[in-house]
Structure formats: C-alpha cells, structure tokens
C-alpha cells in the first residue's frame, strides 16, 4: 500500500520510496506522512499535526488529552500512536503512558483518535510514532 501511495504522488525508485526518507525535504519521513495524510512530494503538506487539547482530571490523576489523525490499520499495515519519554538523553520512548479514549472515522482512509496521557511524571515529552 505504501509503495502505491508514493507512486500516486509521482515518487518512484528505491531511494526515493524509502519509508524513512524525506523526498520533499519537509523534515517528515514519507512513512509518517503516509500515516497522517501528508503529501511526500509537497513540502507545504506534511499531514495533520497532533494536538494537545486540554487537561482532564479522573480521580486523583490528571491526563493530557492528545488528539491525532491516523490511517486505518491494519488494512494499510501502518501503526500510528503516541510515545512518551521523561528523558531526552536516554530517549527511552515507551507507549506505556497513554490509552485511547475514542476514535471516529473522518473518511474511508483516516480516523481521528483521542488519547489520554497521564501526568504522573513531572516531565514527559510526547511524540507521534508511525511505524
Ligand atoms: Ca510533505
């Protein structure tokens, strides 16, 4: 599916269709753009950026609400999910601190996903992983 998607934007060849390459130089890997609806051949279109929308309290714990778009899986063989780390030097990214709260279809290719990420650690960095 990924190769066909690249081809639909006029991107061919082994080097240019590397999922972790960045043909248009927008700093986003082509696979990332595939996962969030970008255009691998247009540096002005890198897909829909994730957003931290609000803080939600549940019992004694506060959560960051984190919303992102993702391509439907597993039909398209790509996984799009948040990862967190409390230390950028060791960069021990994990998916242990989030849970999906809800998801809703946008169209027949993408859905919007609302996650919550606990705020137990005093410092936590968040990234959207596409793999
Ligand atoms: Ca792009």
51-105: pLDDT as tens digits:
999 999 999 999 999 999 999 866 667 999 999 999 999 989 999 999 999 999 9
25 lies in the same domain as 79: no
Which pLDDT does position 45 carry in this prediction?
A: 97
- CA of 11 relative to ligand 1 center, distance in Å: 12
Cβ-count burial 7-27 (b if 16+ within 10 Å, e if not): eebebeeeeebebebbbbebe
Indicate the Cα dihedral angle 109, 102, 51, 61, nearest 10°.
-160
- CA of 62 relative to ligand 1 center, distance in Å: 35
* Tokens describing residue 49: 């950026």
Which pLDDT does position 17 carry in this prediction?
A: 83
Give CB contacts under 8 A, 24+ apart, made by 49-58: 50/82, 50/126, 50/128, 52/126, 53/114, 55/119, 56/116, 58/116
pLDDT tier at 27, thresholds 50, 70, 90 = very high
- CA of 31 relative to ligand 1 center, distance in Å: 10
pTM over 0.75: yes
In the chain, the number of structural domains is 2
**120: in domain:** yes
- CA of 92 relative to ligand 1 center, distance in Å: 27
How many Å apart are CA 2 and CA 30, to the nearest integer? 9
27 lies in the same domain as 58: no
Check pLDDT > 80 for residue 32: yes
How many Å apart are CA 29 and CA 57, to the nearest integer? 35
Which pLDDT does position 15 carry in this prediction?
A: 78
How many other CB atoms sit within 10 Å of the CB of residue 109? 14
**Range(s) of the domain holding residue 9:** 2-36
- CA of 21 relative to ligand 1 center, distance in Å: 11
**56: in domain:** yes
Proportion of the chain above pLDDT 70, given as a percent: 97
**27: in domain:** yes
How many Å apart are CA 108 and CA 119, to the nearest integer? 34
116 lies in the same domain as 69: yes
How many Å apart are CA 47 and CA 21, to the nearest integer? 16
């Amino acid at each position: 599916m990924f190769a066909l998607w690249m081809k639909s934007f006029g991107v061919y060849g082994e080097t240019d269709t590397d999922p972790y390459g960045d043909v248009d130089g927008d700093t986003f890997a082509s696979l990332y753009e595939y996962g969030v609806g970008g255009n691998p051949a247009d540096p002005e279109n890198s897909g829909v950026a994730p957003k931290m929308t609000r803080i939600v309290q549940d019992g004694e714990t506060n959560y960051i609400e984190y919303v992102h778009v993702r391509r439907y899986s597993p039909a398209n063989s790509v996984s799009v999910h948040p990862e967190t780390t409390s230390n950028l030097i060791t960069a021990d990214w994990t998916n242990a601190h989030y849970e999906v709260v809800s998801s809703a279809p946008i169209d027949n290719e993408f859905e919007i996903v609302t996650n919550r990420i606990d705020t137990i650690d005093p410092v936590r960095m968040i990234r959207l992983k596409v793999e």
